[in-house]
Chain A
Amino acid sequence: MIRRFIYGVDLLSRTIGHMFAWCIIILTLGTCWEVFVRYALNDPTSWAFDFSYICYGGVFYMAGAYTLSRGGHVRCDVFYRLLSVRSQGAVDFALYLLFFFPGVIALVVSGWSYGYDSMRIQEVSVNSPAGVPIWPLKMLIPFGAGLLALQGFAELLRCLVCMREGEWPARLHDVEELEHQIIERHAREVAAGAGRTDK
């Protein structure tokens, strides 16, 4: 039951993170278009600047929970990794309560009124006459933080499972950095090679 819940939250964070990740391609193509019309046709767009940071904000902010679910937020593990798995779970449990939720929940609550006020007046950017709507980006703040809080809750449950069973519940795998892929593939090949020589 708990594991199903953790898995579901992981899946949700991943799906939303992946969806917003494609904004980077939109950002690339949109800005290339701006470069083309400005330098080749001498006819710059009025929306490109606002467009660029809205895409960028969407990419990184909505990937926050996804990154958390993959353990991708930078941490200093010099001492942490020396601990036993059970104590890792206990330490994380306490630290999540003390140093995760206060900040993230504050962001959900205050971000909501911030985004809601902006949405009510249909706020647009003041950077250009194009009037690019800015309120969706502000509205992302409470939603991204809410997703982060949900993922944080799943991580909290992970710590509980870990303390009870002495083993971290598996994470949902998707893509890996190239260096980890190469190292893993190499390790498998070495293991396979060692298996052959044993026979």
Chain B
Amino acid sequence: MSDPVLALVMLGLFIFVIMIGFPVAFTLMAMGVGFGYYAYFQPNQAFFDNRVFYLLTQNTFTVLNNDALVSIPLFLLMGYVIERANILDKLFYSIQLAARRVPGSLAVATLLTCALFATATGIVGAVVTLMGLLAFPQMIKAGYDVRLASGATCAGGCLGILIPPSIMLIVYAATAGISVVRLYAGALLPGFLLAGLYVVYVIALATLRPDLAPPMPRQEGKVSLVQVIVLLAKSFLPLAILILSVLGAIFFGLATPTEAASVGAFGALCLAAAYRSLTWPGLKEAVYLTARTSAMVCFLFVGSSTFASIFSYLGGEAMIKGFVLGLDLSPLTFMILSQIIIFLLGWPLEWTEIIIIFVPIFLPLLPHFNIDPLFFGILVALNLQTAFLSPPMAMACYYLKGIAPPRITLVQIFNGCYPFLALIVLAMVLVYMFPALTTWLPDLLYG
């Protein structure tokens, strides 16, 4: 049965209900069942013989045995264990010593620590608060501009969802039906490009305006080169080896993402034990939080699978496709428009909802505009970095505000994030102009 008007009503009602604030996963499920019941209705049929019920169970089971999603809880566990392993402070201290001659050294060290840490965790939040406790007060004490310090902390802390192994990229790959491995390989360079832009910006700013980021006093910087190297080796190498083995195993096709993720989780447990921070309460916390966050992400898949199939059965997908194709956009206009829509959705919504529910609306349109879903996904991932940093709903800024000294206002933090938002847009433009940034590594590794 095709009834595009009903599909429109369905989409409209859905957006209305989630804007009121009901948990999205169950809204999707209930609306899928409700509208599906009507769509599949046959007059002389018992109530539960309606096809929608079979569809719901079948779709739920498809999520339960979806092998692309298996690595989500494993990478989550790895991240939660690493977060609790007291690695960050040692890492930050040694990087900061190594970088102490660089202009704006504290902010640079903050960004580098975050970028490195981002390769071990795929989540935001914890990194912002950890760095907010660790690096932020040091920057303020050293006389850094509050805006610069908060911008670097927030922007750096968000790199975790972009740089592989990130949960967001797994979710996108599962939604778009593309290979996680290729997507990881594609996102690696753009991720480091963005981190690099941040670092260059901070160094340039600190050189031009030393008053915003005063250099470290000489007497504090008296550490021999050997000491620095030993410190770096102790804090940096174990983590780097873990990350390289996980990413290396994935990139060189030695292991599937699931296998690499379990080795990563196991390695994280060993690393935490080596740093003497693997405690029973800590492990319980990590395990339970893993279950909760996986449930949050995967139930969205359970809901959206039924919702999406009913929506397209009613002809909603075809209608949107017809409408957009009727606009006769150029690929560039389509790309800009879709990214603006995703950017705007990032204000009220979180990345999980955007990728699982709204990005699939764009996906069927990509072939028409000759856009590679992998390329599109990386632009979306870059774009969603802004969702954490742009007011009014900037989670990273609220986390930092939660732990910063009271005299630092939210407005100062927001202002600090604007230059970094501009850098994200710049990174998106660069990636769009040089698609080789995303395709070079996957093509090199997998042909």
Q: Which residues of A contact B (CB under 8 A)?
A: 17-18, 20-22, 24-25, 27-32, 34-35, 39, 49, 52-54, 56-57, 59-61, 63-64, 66-68, 70, 72-81, 91-92, 95, 98-104, 106-107, 109-111, 114, 134, 137-138, 140-141, 174-175, 177-179, 182-183, 186-187, 190
Cβ-defined partner of B259 (8 Å) among A34, A114, A182:
A34
Say yes or no: A27 contacts B73, CB within 8 Å.
yes
> Chain B 330-350 against A: per-residue CB contact (8 Å), 1 yes, 0 no?
000000000000000001111
Q: Which residues of B contact A (CB under 8 A)?
A: 17-34, 48, 52-54, 56-58, 60-61, 64-67, 69-70, 72-74, 77, 80, 83-84, 125-126, 128-130, 132-133, 254-255, 258-259, 262-263, 265-266, 269, 284-285, 287-300, 303, 306, 347-350, 352-353, 393, 399, 402-403, 406
Say yes or no: B26 contacts A100, CB within 8 Å.
yes
- Given the known inter-chain contacts A92-B22, A101-B30, please indicate yes or no for A183 contacting B403, CB distance below 8 A: yes
Q: Which residue of B lies closest to A57 (CB)?
A: B64
Q: How far is the CA of A56 from the CA of B348 in the complex (A)?
A: 30
- Given the known inter-chain contacts A49-B67, A110-B56, A138-B61, please indicate yes or no for A179 contacting B20, CB distance below 8 A: no
Say yes or no: B295 contacts A95, CB within 8 Å.
no
Say yes or no: B20 contacts A95, CB within 8 Å.
yes
- Given the known inter-chain contacts A27-B262, A67-B296, please indicate yes or no for A174 contacting B65, CB distance below 8 A: no
Which chain A positions have C-beta within 8 A of B31?
A: 99, 103
Say yes or no: A75 contacts B21, CB within 8 Å.
yes
Instruction: Tell me the minimal C-beta distance from B138 to chain A in angstroms.
Output: 16
Cβ contacts A to B, 26 pairs, < 8 Å: A17-B288, A24-B74, A24-B287, A24-B290, A27-B73, A28-B262, A28-B265, A35-B263, A53-B64, A56-B73, A60-B72, A64-B295, A73-B26, A73-B299, A75-B24, A80-B21, A101-B30, A106-B33, A106-B52, A110-B54, A110-B56, A175-B285, A175-B288, A179-B399, A179-B402, A182-B132
Say yes or no: B258 contacts A60, CB within 8 Å.
no
Say yes or no: A141 contacts B262, CB within 8 Å.
no
The 8 closest A-B pairs by CB, nearest first: A80-B21, A103-B29, A21-B291, A183-B402, A31-B262, A110-B53, A103-B30, A57-B64
Say yes or no: B402 contacts A186, CB within 8 Å.
yes
- Given the known inter-chain contacts A75-B21, A76-B18, A109-B48, please indicate yes or no for A35 contacting B259, CB distance below 8 A: yes
- Given the known inter-chain contacts A75-B22, A75-B23, please indicate yes or no for A141 contacting B61, CB distance below 8 A: yes
Instruction: Tell me the minimal C-beta distance from B287 to chain A in angstroms.
Output: 5
Which chain B positions have C-beta within 8 A of A68?
A: 23
Q: Which residue of A lies closest to B15 (CB)?
A: A76
Say yes or no: A32 contacts B74, CB within 8 Å.
no
Instruction: Tell me the minimal C-beta distance from B80 to chain A in angstroms.
Output: 8
Instruction: Tell me the minimal C-beta distance from B95 to chain A in angstroms.
Output: 21
Which chain A positions have C-beta within 8 A of B23?
A: 68, 73-75, 100
Instruction: Name A's interface SS.
Output: helix
Q: How far is the CA of A21 from the CA of B269 in the complex (A)?
A: 16
Q: How far is the CA of A71 from the CA of B34 in the complex (A)?
A: 24
Q: How far is the CA of A80 from the CA of B16 in the complex (A)?
A: 12
- Given the known inter-chain contacts A35-B255, A100-B26, please indicate yes or no for A74 contacting B296, CB distance below 8 A: yes
Say yes or no: A99 contacts B288, CB within 8 Å.
no
Instruction: Tell me the minimal C-beta distance from A51 to chain B in angstroms.
Output: 10
7 additional contacts (CB under 8 A) given A28-B262, A182-B402:
A24-B73, A35-B263, A66-B291, A72-B292, A74-B350, A103-B32, A186-B133
Q: How far is the CA of A25 from the CA of B297 in the complex (A)?
A: 19
Q: Which residue of A lies closest to B306 (CB)?
A: A103
Say yes or no: A76 contacts B65, CB within 8 Å.
no
Q: Which residue of B lies closest to A109 (CB)?
A: B48
Q: How far is the CA of A99 from the CA of B84 in the complex (A)?
A: 37
Which chain A positions have C-beta within 8 A of B61?
A: 114, 137-138, 141
Instruction: Tell me the minimal C-beta distance from B269 to chain A in angstroms.
Output: 8
Interface centre among A73, A98, A138 (most CB of B within 10 A): A73
Interface centre among B61, B303, B353 (most CB of A within 10 A): B61
Say yes or no: A78 contacts B348, CB within 8 Å.
yes
Say yes or no: B258 contacts A52, CB within 8 Å.
yes
Q: How far is the CA of A140 from the CA of B34 in the complex (A)?
A: 23
Say yes or no: B60 contacts A107, CB within 8 Å.
yes
Q: How far is the CA of A190 from the CA of B408 in the complex (A)?
A: 14
Q: How far is the CA of A138 from the CA of B132 in the complex (A)?
A: 45
Say yes or no: B25 contacts A60, CB within 8 Å.
no
Say yes or no: A60 contacts B294, CB within 8 Å.
yes
Instruction: Tell me the minimal C-beta distance from B173 to chain A in angstroms.
Output: 16
Q: Which residue of A lies closest to B406 (CB)?
A: A190
Say yes or no: B291 contacts A59, CB within 8 Å.
yes
Q: How far is the CA of A27 from the CA of B77 in the complex (A)?
A: 11
Cβ-defined partner of A78 (8 Å) among B19, B66, B80:
B19
Q: Which residue of A lies closest to B55 (CB)?
A: A110
Q: Which residue of B lies closest to A65 (CB)?
A: B295
Say yes or no: A177 contacts B125, CB within 8 Å.
yes
- Given the known inter-chain contacts A21-B288, A60-B291, A75-B23, please indicate yes or no for A107 contacting B352, CB distance below 8 A: no
Q: How far is the CA of A35 from the CA of B265 in the complex (A)?
A: 13
Q: Which residue of A lies closest to B405 (CB)?
A: A190
Cβ-defined partner of A63 (8 Å) among B20, B84, B291:
B291
Say yes or no: B48 contacts A110, CB within 8 Å.
yes
Instruction: Tell me the minimal C-beta distance from A93 to chain B in angstroms.
Output: 11
Q: How far is the CA of A32 from the CA of B128 in the complex (A)?
A: 31
Cβ-defined partner of A98 (8 Å) among B21, B30, B48, B130:
B30
Q: How far is the CA of A183 from the CA of B398 in the complex (A)?
A: 10
Instruction: Tell me the minimal C-beta distance from B177 to chain A in angstroms.
Output: 17
Which chain B positions have C-beta within 8 A of A77?
A: 21
Cβ-defined partner of B22 (8 Å) among A30, A57, A72, A99:
A99
